[in-house]
Amino acid sequence: MKSIVSVKRLTKLYGKKGSQTLVLDNISFDIRAGEFVGIMGPSGAGKSTLLNIMSTIDAPTSGHVTIGEQVITKMSERELSDFRRHELGFIFQDFNLLDSLNVKDNILLPLALDRQKVSEMEKRLKDVTTILGIDHLLTRFPVDISIGQKQRVAAARAIITQPQLVFADEPTGSLDSKSATELLQYLSKLNEQEQTTIAMVTHDAFTASYCHRIFFIKDGVIFSELVRRNSRKEFFQTIIDMQATIGGGINHDVI
């Protein structure tokens, strides 16, 4: 299968000269179209930094990222904002919901910006909110819903445009295990049925066990890579063992 994301010799340095931290050290890898890829590693390892650069939100110190045919690290801000809106979906660690809009308008925002037909918008809204169990919250505002509900609203907003590529940073971090399982099953379904490519950062072995392949980042490099070859439960155990080796991450007792 052809590659949809190509990361080439990516380096990220933070700080001023003399006190710089090397967060990503010459990282290269590819993600194939239709893959569900996980990024794991200890806190502070650079997972969000890597995801933010891959998803056009942040710029590398050196190196390049190609998405499809486009070298995104060479695009202008104007080209990027169009590209993001049409091709990418985001589920951020801190949700980024707009407090002045209700749940419905937050979810519809990416479609409204594109002036989609109202009937089409309503249909997609019904589909995603039913699946994510937030259809009863549409008229509420972000301040009036729980953190887990916010996370699901952010997920609905990310996938309502049916992007070819979804980036998620700890998408289950604020969810109870039932909601987490539902969101992961939905992401898996999106991945299998629509061939949506997903790149997801997580600490959590249960969440990661839904992926096909996982990169473990440590000390700025890809320390290891795991490929799922058997059942999800067996993969979960393999991930736990790898976490024990490299450190970092919280384990679920039940799967």
Q: Min. distance of Cβ 93 from Mg ion in angstroms? A: 6
In degrees, rounded to 5, the angle at the alpha carbon of residue 66 between the alpha carbons of residues 172 and 87 is 55
Q: Which is nearer to ligand ATP, 48 or 73 (CB)?
A: 48
Q: Min. distance of Cβ 155 from ligand ATP in angstroms? A: 18
Are the C-beta atoms of residues 214 and 40 closer than 8 Å to each other?
A: yes
Choosing among Mg ion, ligand ATP, none, which partner's interface includes residue 14 (Cβ < 5 to 8 Å by kind)?
ligand ATP
Q: What is the CA radius of gyration of the chain?
A: 18
Q: Min. distance of Cβ 239 from Mg ion in angstroms? A: 18
Q: Which residues would be at the binding site for Mg ion (CB under 5 A)? A: 48
The strands making up 70-71's β-sheet, listed across from edge to edge, are 21-32, 3-14, 62-67, 70-71
Q: Which is nearer to Mg ion, 48 or 172 (CB)?
A: 48
**CA dist., res. 102 & res. 104, Å (int):** 6
Q: What is the torsional sign of CA 124, 53, 4, 200?
A: negative
Q: Which is nearer to ligand ATP, 46 or 89 (CB)?
A: 46
The residue within the footprint of ligand ATP, chosen from 27, 29, 49, 165 (CB under 6 A), is 49
CA distances to 32, 33, 103, 237, 246 from 156, in Å: 24, 22, 10, 30, 33
How many residues at the interface with ligand ATP, by CB under 6 A?
13
Choosing among ligand ATP, Mg ion, none, which partner's interface includes residue 45 (Cβ < 5 to 8 Å by kind)?
ligand ATP
Are the C-beta atoms of residues 208 and 180 closer than 8 Å to each other?
A: no
Q: Min. distance of Cβ 21 from ligand ATP in angstroms? A: 6
Interacting residues with ligand ATP between 176 and 215 (CB under 6 A): 203
Candidate ranges 46-54, 60-68, 125-133, 208-216; the one touching ligand ATP (CB under 6 A): 46-54
Are the C-beta atoms of residues 39 and 51 closer than 8 Å to each other?
A: yes
- Positions in the binding site for ligand ATP (CB under 6 A): 14-15, 21, 23, 41, 43-49, 203
